[in-house]
Amino acid sequence: MTPIEQVMRTAPVIPVLVIDDVAEAEPLARALVAGGLNVLEVTLRTPAALDAIRAMKQVPGAIVGAGTVTNPQQLDEAVAAGSEFIVSPGLTETLGRAAIAKGVPFLPGIANAGDIMRGLELGLSEFKFFPATAAGGIPALKALAAPFGQVRFCPTGGISVDNAAEWLALEPVLCVGGSWVAPRGGSPEQIEQLAAAAAKLPR
């Protein structure tokens, strides 16, 4: 099992987190981990993101990674902040080679067969299918997965409490990414309940 596959198999849902205030980071991580979702993706979309990763790393049981990593400089910053895995919305050879050289578990985004083939050439076999719904949904992923039997996916983008189970029922899907388990402004109690429900999703 590859290092990123181990991360993907930890829980059925990876919360995709946009954190504006670092003070929110540790309570949010504690609520998600208490609910059973240990793998946390902090997107590099806000100035607070790197400090949020550092704060969440203090929570026992949390496996904290960086999302929305688009270039080697962000990769370096994320790893320096303690990121245990890296997620990207796409895949370039430059970023792929940089992540491999760092030895950090890497989940690049793909939306078509060419993306998958580029990843396979780099030695990668696990991918984020993004944006999952906009890129054609479940029929598109089934069609993409058919020629690539060794490939496994984490669909992200448009995944919700209403359709997560349908995605997780697909054989090549190891987990899904979603933001519904950590709504902005949600209380720790609410987030823990949402996480607990998500952690029980069959796959």
Q: Which domains does the chain have, with CATH numbers?
A: 3-199 (3.20.20.70)
* Residues with a known catalytic role: 41, 128
What pLDDT score does 30 carry?
98
Report the SS3 class of residue 137: helix
Q: Which of 33, 39, 30 is nearest to 10 (CA)?
A: 39
What pLDDT score does 175 carry?
98
- The pairing of beta strand 126-129 with beta strand 152-155: parallel
Task: State pTM to two decimals.
Answer: 0.97
What pLDDT score does 87 carry?
98
CA distances from 11 to 124, 174, 200 (A): 21, 9, 9
pLDDT band at 191 (very low <50, low <70, confident <90, very high): very high
What pLDDT score does 10 carry?
98
**Residues 155, 25: Cα–Cα separation, whole Å:** 24
pLDDT band at 187 (very low <50, low <70, confident <90, very high): very high
